[in-house]
Chains A and B, each alone.
Chain A
């Protein structure tokens, strides 16, 4: 309906009144913000856990005695999504990035463009004493410590004692992948590996290549178009042989192409379970399920653990390394305080506390000696030993490309061909790095 011009008068008056009110509210809000006083608040971007980081934040806030307050802010649960959010915020110059929980493979990508505030030398020295070597490598970029190791994760070999016994394996001695493949095939059981097209696939391939004495990326700190890959090698072929054998013979079970850490644990807990490479979270999770009555009580007794399997008998294994390092954003307004807070967070006491309450193993070897650790985690010694042997994933700013390239060419495991896969995956990743191909 056409509106008469006279009708416009009143709404305009009302609109002016509304604008006035909005202005008044806005002004109050603004003054409210600017008059903030008291100790500076440090924001700690944490990956989801069982509440351990929030507890440590509280402990350190109390210990700071008014010097600072640590507030936690939750990142997405997926490691890749955490990286995306952190990278975007850092690139945009967000000055609230005081403390960040960083997955080690993504440290170089953030360190290279200078998004991480330099670690003061004294802090670096104090916080890297007695830290396992793998965790330290993961916090280093171009020979400089750029983040502080907090906790370190590693995979160990979990096994069902009944299956190992039936196969006649002496689990007190190192075992090889071939032995596990034979044992599982002989008894019609499933091996617990992670064959999904996800980060866990890169973790597996990297551990196999490193165990065979190779490296996925030979010169990790080179620019994108100069990177050399080490997949087309004896080590790469051996890795492909193992992945392919497990995939083609159906030893990973029908769920293998979508199997992640969690789903392989569920399979391991079932009747078909035999051997599984996985992180320590398996232990508290299985115990909780037994206590809740969803799994048989005898299961716990049947579970054993040892070091990650070897590729070649007699050669040291190179278990996967994970964990979290703490970094400070280059645009943070409270860098000194943040490093003070980090020193508190990574103290051996807090690391032990985090291990016993959340199941995340300390990066500092001292923390393993704390009382109560071996009660909660009888395999703590194996974990520490595994961490000493562990090798990080390629420390390159282009880790995402390398990892996704491996995921796309090494899955499903049944399609891996030792004769061609290492070469195709190398060519593919190099073409992507040169910007000639889509990922």
Chain B
């Protein structure tokens, strides 16, 4: 809907049905596009396609970095071990749990923040945006350490500040138990990345034409009705892009878990498993296989988002 509105308002008429014969202008534009994107595309191929293909190849071997002579081709053997191991499924479950909870909470919080930013007075808007963006500007490792030390049983202050909350006492060791440790990891993740999602939503919110909401208001629509019938449908593309980006990001969570628990007590996530297998154990073959599976999971998420929810990633480009 937003694109159609923009198309109507757009200055340039869209050359839609002219598929077989391109105009000179369109051809020049396409050539420029190739020139602009080409070098980046080649570099992308070199730095992403090559390692991905190498990982695929390595995953078919039993290969340990410190035993290079024992390297042996075992076909899909590594995948067999991984997919029949409860560790992989447990880690996948933990990763999905973190992804679903963080994205859901962040979407709600981020939308609220976007609304606040959008309707704030001009004078404070700049300050407000900066303040909201601060957590996102902090390096994840730094924020992970900050959260870790805040909740740590020896040096933390949370246990003392919140000992009036049932279940929290000075003796509560947050990182000794899966659920409590995951709570801290998820909370820190939400604190850190909500600004990102709210910024994406703010951009979507700004796209909603003011006249539509005004017209709805004049027609007597309540706030909830305007939100549900006018604003949200017009923001669908922005919301889906925000959800997709954050879901992919959350699914690859690493820093927070690595710093806070290093995967102990049922908090291990898939990327940590891949790291521990290929970097700590130096099992290049098995580690590559886990990485490939992680990559497949990410592709599946993309596929679900794009095909099932029909996210149009190029929808933001006006006039096509």
Binding site for B on A (CB under 8 A): 2-3, 80, 84, 87-88, 91, 109-110, 112-113, 115, 196-198, 254-258, 263, 266-267, 397, 400-401, 404, 411-412, 435-439
Question: Nearest 10 pairs between A and B by C-beta?
Answer: A257-B176, A197-B264, A254-B171, A2-B28, A438-B87, A255-B153, A438-B85, A91-B65, A254-B173, A258-B175
B176, closest chain A residue (CB) = A257
Give 14 new A-B contacts, CB below 8 A, not counting A91-B66, A91-B68.
Answer: A2-B25, A2-B28, A87-B65, A88-B65, A113-B68, A255-B153, A258-B153, A400-B282, A412-B176, A435-B81, A437-B87, A438-B87, A438-B273, A438-B286
Chain B residues within an 8 Å CB radius of A263: 154
B300 within 8 A of A: no
**Total chain B interface residues with beta-carbon distance under 8 A:** 36
B67 and A113 contact, CB distance less than 8 A: yes
CB-contacts of B1-59 with A (<8 A): 25, 28-29, 32
Q: Map CB proximity to A onto B230-270 as digits: 1 under 8 Å, 0 otherwise.
A: 00000000000000000000000000000000101100000
Q: Provide 11 A-B residue pairs closer than 8 Å at the C-beta atoms, listed in order of the A residue.
A: A3-B28, A84-B282, A87-B282, A112-B67, A113-B68, A256-B173, A257-B175, A258-B176, A436-B81, A438-B88, A438-B277
Chain B residues within an 8 Å CB radius of A439: 87, 276-277, 281
- Given A84-B282, A254-B173, A258-B175; A435-B62 close (CB under 8 Å): yes
B82 within 8 A of A: yes
B219 within 8 A of A: no
- Given A113-B67, A113-B68; A2-B29 close (CB under 8 Å): yes
Binding site for A on B (CB under 8 A): 25, 28-29, 32, 62, 65-69, 81-82, 85, 87-88, 152-154, 171-173, 175-177, 262, 264-265, 273, 276-277, 279-282, 286, 290
Closest CB of chain B to A145's CB: distance in Å? 20
B68, closest chain A residue (CB) = A113
Closest CB of chain B to A146's CB: distance in Å? 14
Closest CB of chain B to A104's CB: distance in Å? 16
- Per the bound structure, the CA–CA distance linking A84 and B280 in Å amounts to 6
- Given A2-B25, A197-B264, A438-B87; A255-B66 close (CB under 8 Å): no
Closest CB of chain A to B284's CB: distance in Å? 10
- Given A113-B68, A113-B69; A3-B32 close (CB under 8 Å): yes
User: In the complex, which of the residues A115, A256, A258 has the most CB atoms of chain B within 10 Å of its own CB atom?
Assistant: A258
- Per the bound structure, the CA–CA distance linking A147 and B154 in Å amounts to 38
A400 and B280 contact, CB distance less than 8 A: yes
Chain B residues within an 8 Å CB radius of A112: 66-67
Closest CB of chain B to A265's CB: distance in Å? 10
Chain B residues within an 8 Å CB radius of A109: 66
Closest CB of chain B to A337's CB: distance in Å? 26
- Per the bound structure, the CA–CA distance linking A267 and B65 in Å amounts to 40
- Which of B66, B153, B273 meets A87, CB within 8 Å? B66
Closest CB of chain A to B168's CB: distance in Å? 12
User: In the complex, which of the residues A196, A256, A438, A439 has the most CB atoms of chain B within 10 Å of its own CB atom?
Assistant: A438
- Per the bound structure, the CA–CA distance linking A412 and B178 in Å amounts to 11
- Per the bound structure, the CA–CA distance linking A411 and B265 in Å amounts to 8
Chain B residues within an 8 Å CB radius of A84: 279-280, 282
- Given A91-B66, A112-B67; A435-B281 close (CB under 8 Å): no
- Per the bound structure, the CA–CA distance linking A263 and B62 in Å amounts to 39
Chain B residues within an 8 Å CB radius of A3: 28, 32
- Given A257-B173, A437-B81; A400-B32 close (CB under 8 Å): no
B66 and A113 contact, CB distance less than 8 A: yes
